[in-house]
Structure 1
C-alpha cells in the first residue's frame, strides 16, 4: 500500500503556491527556508513528479504541481473539518456576515454549509447589501465580517480571490450592429459600473444606461432577455450568457478582486474560523457554465492564481 501524503508537507506546498515564494512560505508556516526546501524535495519524491520549475529568480508550479494543488487544498480542508467536528471547545454565539447579493448567490451556499457543519453552535446572521453600504456598516460595528469588492482607494480588505471581469450579453439574442450599447449595471458608485463606463469612454464606444439595480437577479434577467449588456466576474456567469471580447468591440477590463473585512475586536478564533471557510470555498469555486454553454470563449479566460495577484494588478 502506498504511503499517505504528509499533510504538513501539503500545507507548506499550498503556502508556496499562495505566496509565490519559498521564503515567504517559510514565514507563513513558521519554518526555515531550508526546512521548506527539504519538505518539497520529499514531496516531489513521494509524488514522483517535479512540482516546481525555475521562473527567473523564483519558482512556479509545473502542470503536475497545479494538479496537486487542487488535491492539497481539499485534503487540508477536510482535515480541518474533521478536527473541528471533535473539538470539545466549539465556538458559540452569533456571527454577523455582510455580502453583496451577487456574491451571496454564488459563494454563500457552500460557505454556510461548511461552516455550519464544523461550528453548529454559531448562528449566522447574513446581510445582503452593496459593498459601499457594507463598509459603512462595518465602520459602525454592525457587522463582524464582510465579503466585498476590494477597492484599496476606498476601503481596506484582505484579498481572497481574483478573477476576470467579463462583458456579457444574451447568447440567444444578438446585439444590433452599430448601435449604442444598452447597459444593465449597478448604481453610480458601483465599481463594476464605473469600470465599464470608463472602458467604453476610453474607446469612444457609445452606450446608454438602460437598467440600474443593485439586484444581480434583475441585471442578469435584463441580460438573458437580450435587452442589455452587463459586466460580471467569471464565476457569476450563467447559462445562456455570451462573453463579449475585444473581437466583439468590447475593451478588456481589469480583474475583479474579492476581499474580506473584519471588525476590530472580533474573537480571533471566530474570525479565523469563518475567514478560513470563506477562503477555502472561494478557492474551490469554478465558473457556473462551461465553454460549451457559451458562445463566447470562456475557456480562453485565464483564472488568476492568488500568488500572482500583486504582480498582475500592480499599477491599478
Structure 2
C-alpha cells in the first residue's frame, strides 16, 4: 500500500527544521505545541523512521530527517503554487528591504529563497547601506524593512531578533596582533562596531592605529586575511583563515552584537509583514536558553 504524506505535516516539519524548536514552529504554523508534536508523531509513523533527536532544548534532525527535509520543502512549495494558481488573493507587488552588506552576504540567500517560494509574484528590492543610513531611510519612509545592528535597543521600533558574540579577529598565517600599536581595519566613523572596538582598546589602555577603513565588510576582511590588520566581527562572519583573539593576546572582551528588524511605521503592508516573517524565521536565535542567560 502506497504511503501518502500530509502536506500540512510536512509544512510543520520544515518549520521545526528551520526554527530548531517545536515551540517556535508552533508559532510559525499557528498551531498549539501539542498539535505540532502530534503531527510529528504521525509523520514519523508514516515514514517509519525517527526524524528528530533532542539536543538540549533544541530539536535536531536525524539523518533520516535531513533526507526528508528537501522533499518536504519541495512538496510544500508545489502545494503553495497549486493553491496560488486557483486564487485571486495571491500577494503581488514590490517590497523594499534594507540591509548592511555583511548581513546581506550571510543571511539574504536563505531569506530570499524562503520568500520567493511562498510569494513568487512579489518583486523584492534590496538596498545595501550601513545601519545608520537604513535607520534614516526607515524614518523617512523610503524603505519597508531594514535589518540593522541594534545597539540602541531603547528605540521602540527595533525588534531584536538575533544575538551573537562580537570577536576580535586576525589572520591565522600572520601576527599583526603582536604589532605595537595594534593596526586596525574597521568600518567608517559611523560604524557601531568601530566605536565598540576603539572604546574597548581605550579602556584596556592598548595602543592602536586605524590602518584601513571601509564601509564594505569584504574589504575589511581582506585586510585581516592578508595579515595587515586586526578587526572585530560577529561570530557568524568568521571566515576560514581568521584567528579569534582574546584575553590571552591582550584584547578586551566585547559586548554582544544584537541584530534587529525595523519596520516602516508610516506605510505598513501585508507584503512587508510577509517578508518580516521570513526574516525573523531565518535569523532568530534568541532561544529560551539564551534569554535565561
TM-score, structure 2 as length reference = 0.75
Cross-structure match for 2:145: 145
Cα distance in 2 for residues equivalent to 1:117 and 1:35: 25
Is the aligned partner of 1:267 residue 2:269?
yes
Is the aligned partner of 1:311 residue 2:289?
no
Deviations 1:293-314 (A, max 9, x none): xxxxxxxxxxx653334334xx
Of 60, 68, 84, the residue aligned with 1:66 is: 60
Cross-structure match for 1:95: 95
Would the alpha carbon gap of residues 44 and 134 (structure 1) be closer, same or farther in structure 2, given more than 3 Å must change? same
Would the alpha carbon gap of residues 109 and 15 (structure 1) be closer, same or farther in structure 2, given more than 3 Å must change? closer
Q: Is the 8 A contact 1:149 1:259 kept in 2?
A: yes
The answer for unaligned runs of 5 or more in structure 1 is 54-58, 284-303
Q: Secondary structure at the match of 1:108?
A: helix
Would the alpha carbon gap of residues 81 and 206 (structure 1) be closer, same or farther in structure 2, given more than 3 Å must change? farther
RMSD: 3.8
Q: Is the 8 A contact 2:177 2:230 kept in 1?
A: no
Of residues 140-149 and 90-99 in structure 1, the stretch that sits farther from structure 2 once superposed is: 90-99
Of residues 166-175 and 78-87 in structure 1, the stretch that sits farther from structure 2 once superposed is: 78-87
Q: Is the 8 A contact 2:99 2:127 kept in 1?
A: yes
Deviations 1:149-179 (A, max 9, x none): 1231356322333222221112222126361
Would the alpha carbon gap of residues 251 and 260 (structure 1) be closer, same or farther in structure 2, given more than 3 Å must change? same
Q: Is the 8 A contact 2:11 2:73 kept in 1?
A: no
TM-score, structure 1 as length reference = 0.70
Cross-structure match for 1:136: 136
Cα distance in 2 for residues equivalent to 1:15 and 1:205: 42
Cα distance in 2 for residues equivalent to 1:280 and 1:95: 18
Give the alignment of 1:163-242 within 5 angstroms.
Answer: 163-175=164-176, 177=178, 179-242=180-243
* Matched pairs, number: 280
Would the alpha carbon gap of residues 266 and 50 (structure 1) be closer, same or farther in structure 2, given more than 3 Å must change? closer
Q: Is the 8 A contact 1:160 1:306 kept in 2?
A: no
Q: Is the 8 A contact 2:223 2:229 kept in 1?
A: yes
